[in-house]
Structure 1
Amino acid sequence: MEYAENILGTIGNTPLVKLNTLTKELPCLVLAKYETFNPGNSVKDRMAVKMIEDAEADGRLKPGGTIIEGTSGNTGMGLALAAIVKGYKMICVISDKQSKEKMDILRAVGSKVVVCPTNVEPDDPRSYYSTSKRLAEETPNSWYVNQYDNLSNTAAHYESTGPEIWKQTDGKVTHFVVGVGTGGTISGVGKYLKEQNPNIKIWGIDTYGSVFKKYHETGIFDENEIYPYITEGIGEDILPKNVNFDIIDGFIKVTDKDAAIYTQKLAKEEGMFLGNSAGAAVKGLLQLKDKFSKDDVVVVLFHDHGSRYVGKMFNDEWMRERGFIEDNAKSAADLISHSEDKPLVTVKTEELVWHAIERMKTYNISQIPVEDNTGFVGAIDEADLLRKYMENKNISDLPIKEVMNKPFPIVSKNTSIEAISKLFTKENNAVLVALENGKHQIVTKSDIISSL
């Protein structure tokens, strides 16, 4: 009989799969190291078990202990699986930019999940780096993993992922391409492959808002390059010890939009349901086209599974809200096509101003049409309300009819975006679109901007 002693025995030996459609413009053979075949559906299973076993061996992790780690989700999953098998408790500290699916999955496998804000400095007490360290200090019999600086991370890929790629390509691999976050995968695989053949090129995929590319090229840690980004799992605002810049031949940056679009393309054109960093990796490959020749064998590593991004990169509404789907909108009908079935938020003339303010906060909107039994008779705008509030602090108790502006212009669904744009003025920040059923929908400046 053939079976694994437990789920950890199924980690590794993932397949290489040829890419066909998306890479057809490349002159070389492109093979994907398909890491979603690991039990936790990501490459991070490899290093999670390695880091735990090394910590057990030297006494950092003791029986019955609590494992604590800051994670974008995948390392947490790998650690959680190992914690279950080995009898440890698990606390995952995750940033709020990560998908809800990742958080739900971690809770599903018994981990406690602590969510921290993304847009803070690494040394801010609220950051997931600082929070992880604090929890480790406060929790008895705990071990803080620190995948960024824990060199067992790199060792795991030197010992398993690198040798697998070398064997699976029969030593013919010429380039290795992978998204870089903690740096363990690129450094471990890169070290092993270059030991076998120093001519193999190692390329890292970076994202805008991360420091890796510029630091590699100039040695300058430029804080001006650090800003929030959407792409998950790659890029950093720190320099992890696991990133061995001497092994890496170069970095290429990929935009959030391209990473998201190519994540969808992988599913729809290659049948590969993968995570956000895989989309970034494929787009990075295409940007590196001039680096490859017809005899090259390029291995690109795909980190994780698409199920963790169903509410994001695989959700067209989410994509559209961020301008990642190009709908080529031409008319009012195009602008409201995704909100046409939603009720129009309005206020009555006799309601008080504070009712309008509450509605703005509830629905996160800035303009509200005002109506009475005859139809639309006015409009409320947050900027105008603020100005009037500075003049009269008691404005919230006044009836809306006393502070409202002129009603928003009304257009048909066939009105062009160009014509609608001309209706926006300093005094007017919205337009109403008349629907066939006698109802209306609102178009704002942000809708116009999103359509560009």
Structure 2
Amino acid sequence: MLLPNENNYISTIPAIGDTPIRRCDFLSNIYKTNILIKEEFHNPGMSSKDRPALFMIQDAIQRQRIQSGGTFVEASSGNTGLGVTMIARRLGYKAKIFVSKSCSQEKINKLEEAGASIEICDNSNGLQDFQSTQFRAQSFAAKEENAFFTNQYYNTQNIRAHYKTTGPEIWEQTSNKITHFLCGVGTGGTISGVGRFLKEQREDIHIWGIEPKGSILQHYLAHRTAPENIQPFEAIEGIGRNFVPGSFDPQPIDHIFQVGKEPSKRAALWYYQNTDIQCGFSSAAVLASLHKYSHIMQFNPEDQVLLFFPDHGSRYISKLYSKPVDEEVINAINIDG
């Protein structure tokens, strides 16, 4: 992947992007089509969030929003925070990351190893909640001298990173034949940027988002307004929102499917037992949606269906892979339960 602007200081950062796409024979045989997986855990920070982290940091430096030695601040479920920390420290900056108490211990460990200063907050419910990661990160950056809040939920560089890098990669790697793109929706940056690029190449491509039950973005996509009665959504780390992020662009998205937390957990175990691959939590939600809604998706044998796996299951051992798996889960295709 070409970096956003090739400056001398940025050359110290490990290459981000150009992650592989793998055809999954196991899933392809089940769904009688071509199932491809974009493996973003091959990025240096082991997640797709390295991409917007790089773009947001570079943009802030170029616009002189932060001076040398300052502190980059982010509200994150872990992966963006790690990308921000890794890149910031390579460039001589500090990082302060605000995570919710639902963040996996594995991610917190990685943040500490990377050198981040960490604050644990009650939730990630957006700027209207004084105890949220977003509010506390913004407040810290406003009060701290020489600090910049990258703010992935409202930073246009989040979408731009995926429009400029992930989308073109996918188009080229699939030889312009991709027909479906399935992706978990959290900040909305990935599906908005990739979706926008792919729709410009092929209008009839299907751009489908996945979110937890109770998240509001499905409703927003259909009605262009948030629901009146907002309830807590099921906790699938990295995706789902009870507010509409500024980095969520509904225009290129055709539909958003909702799945439950427990079916997603079972999907992760089912996939691991059949492929020996540990996928992340939001990737497991994509797998659960594929099973639950395949009768609606109605794939053709010649289709090229790409599943976006933003990170690796090693970030969720305690949440997804720490318990023994019973034979019913291992052998059954019915993971809905």
Give TM-score scaled by structure 2 length.
Answer: 0.89
Note the alpha carbon deviations across 1:237-274, whole angstroms, 9 max, x for none. Answer: 11111111111000100100111111222322122222
Structure 1: how far apart are the matches of 2:132 and 2:228? 17
**1:127 offset after TM fit, Å?**
1.1
Partner of 2:195: 190
Asked if the contact 2:125–2:242 (Cα under 8 Å) also holds between the matched residues in 1, the reply is no
1:92-241 → structure 2 map (5 Å cutoff): 92-118=97-123, 122-241=127-246
SS in 2 for 1:103: helix
In structure 2, relative to structure 1, the CA distance for the partners of 1:20 and 1:13 (3 Å cut) is: same
Task: List per-residue Cα deviations over 1:42-64 (Å, max 9, x = no partner).
Answer: 00001100111111111112211
Deviations along 1:6-36, one digit per CA (max 9) or x if unpaired, are: 6633210000011222453313201000000
After superposition, where does 1:64-79 map in structure 2 within 5 Å? 64-79=69-84
Contact 1:234–1:277 (CA<8 Å) still a contact in 2? Answer: yes
Say if 2:32 is the partner of 1:24: no
Answering whether residue 301 of structure 2 is matched by residue 294 of structure 1, we say: yes
User: Cα 1:73–1:223, aligned 2, differ >3 Å: closer, same or farther?
Assistant: farther
Which structure carries more relative contact order (alpha carbon 8 Å, separation 6+)? 2
Structural mapping, 1:370-385, within 5 Å = none
Other structure's SS at 2:36 match: strand
Q: Is the 8 A contact 2:55 2:161 kept in 1?
A: yes
The runs of at least 4 consecutive aligned structure 1 residues that moved more than 4 Å come to: 119-122
Alignment partner, residue 3 of structure 2: none
Aligned residue for 2:22, secondary structure, equals: strand
Q: Relative to structure 2, which stretch is displaced further, 43-52 or 257-266?
A: 257-266
1:190-215 per-position Cα deviation (integer Å, ceiling 9, x unaligned): 11111111111100001112101111
Cα distance in 2 for residues equivalent to 1:95 and 1:197: 38
1:314 to 2:326 alignment: no
Larger Rg: 1
Aligned partner of 1:258 among 226, 238, 263: 263
Cα distance in 2 for residues equivalent to 1:161 and 1:63: 29
Match of 1:242 in 2: 247
For residues 148 and 300 of structure 1, the distance between their equivalents in structure 2, rounded to whole angstroms, comes to: 22
Q: 1:304 aligns with which of 302, 311, 314?
A: 311
Q: Give the letter aligned to residue 90 of structure 1.
A: A
SS at match of 2:13: helix
SS of 2:38's equivalent in the other structure is strand
Change (3 A) 1:121 1:224: farther
Q: Is the 8 A contact 2:220 2:226 kept in 1?
A: yes
Deviation at 1:326, TM superposition (A): 7.5
User: How far apart, in 2, do the equivalents of 1:60 and 1:257 lie?
Assistant: 43
Encode CA deviations 1:376-426: one digit per residue, 9 max, x unaligned.
Answer: xxxxxxxxxxxxxxxxxxxxxxxxxxxxxxxxxxxxxxxxxxxxxxxxxxx
Aligned CA RMSD, in angstroms, stands at: 2.1
Asked whether 1:90 is paired with 2:131, we answer no
Distance 1:119-1:204 versus aligned 2 partners, 3 A rule:
closer
Change in 2 beyond 3 A, CA 1:311/1:299: same
Change (3 A) 1:23 1:214: farther
Identity, in percent, stands at 36
Do the aligned partners of residues 16 and 119 (structure 1) sit closer, same or farther apart at CA in structure 2, a change above 3 Å counting?
A: closer
Alpha-carbon spacing, 1:91–1:134, altered in 2? closer, same or farther (3 Å): same
- Tell me the alpha carbon deviations over residues 59-109 of structure 1, each in whole angstroms, 9 at most, x when there is no partner: 112211100110000000111110111011000000001111111110111
Q: Which amino acid aligns with 1:71?
A: S
Please list every run of 5 or more consecutive structure 2 residues that lacks an aligned counterpart in the other structure: 1-9, 331-336
